[in-house]
Amino acid sequence: MASIGHILVGLAAARVAEPHARLGARLYTAIGLATLSLLPDLDVFAFRLGIPYEAPFGHRGASHSLAAAVVIGVAVALMWRPPRRTLLRTTLLCTVVVATHGLLDMLTDGGEGVALAWPISDARMFFGWRPLPVSPIGRAIVSLRGLEVLATELLWFAPLLAFGLWPPRRDHAVQPP
């Protein structure tokens, strides 16, 4: 999967983290959560280290697992907490943001699958329904095929974009004169 869907997960999560803040005020939160949602794909550097795709620490391996999402979620929550959020709620938010990466990759039509249950199992999995085209890796994203994948993702994830950009609700309480 290209990065559009993962980034929009972060944008929507920022709205959840700071529901009453305007977009500009939650911009750093949105950037941070979008970065967090992309974090599992740092495993692409495994290719340069000679680690095969299908290895436990290869692409879409351990870093895409639910166990990694929990560890990363806890670590980030210990360092950052949005206003009026408990440690538990922040941990849950960060864990869900990271976990969506592997789950969304399981909706793609290519690759070797996702090691979602690592370390319990190294098995690579996909969902039975796979509507998202797999993205070219690296510079190949800047190609006709890459642009097609990005456009497809933008259509699929448009609701997250709308939710993330939607203005906060204003309270219309009647003020006494």
pLDDT tens, residue by residue, 55-107: 999 999 999 999 999 999 999 999 987 777 899 999 999 999 999 999 999 99
Q: Which residues pair with 114 in a beta bridge?
A: 125
51-68 pLDDT, tens digit each: 999 999 999 999 999 999
Residue 176 has pLDDT above 80, yes or no: no
Structurally, how many domains does the chain consist of?
Answer: 1
Q: 3-class DSSP state for residue 80?
A: coil
> What is the extent of the structural domain holding 62?
3-165
The pTM (predicted TM-score) of the whole model is 0.89
Q: Please state the separation of Cα 93 from the chain's center in Å.
A: 11
Residue 83 within a domain: yes
Q: What one-character-per-residue DSSP string does 22-54 give?
A: -TTTTHHHHHHHHHHHHGGGGGGHHHHTT--TT
Please give the Cα distance from 109 to 132 (Å, whole number). 6
Which pLDDT does position 139 carry in this prediction?
A: 83
Q: In whole numbers, what is the pLDDT of the chain averaged over residues? A: 91
Residue 172 within a domain: no
Please give the Cα distance from 153 to 42 (Å, whole number). 20
Residues in the chain: 177
Residue 126 within a domain: yes
Q: Please state the separation of Cα 73 from the chain's center in Å.
A: 12
Return the structure tokens found at 2: 């290209």
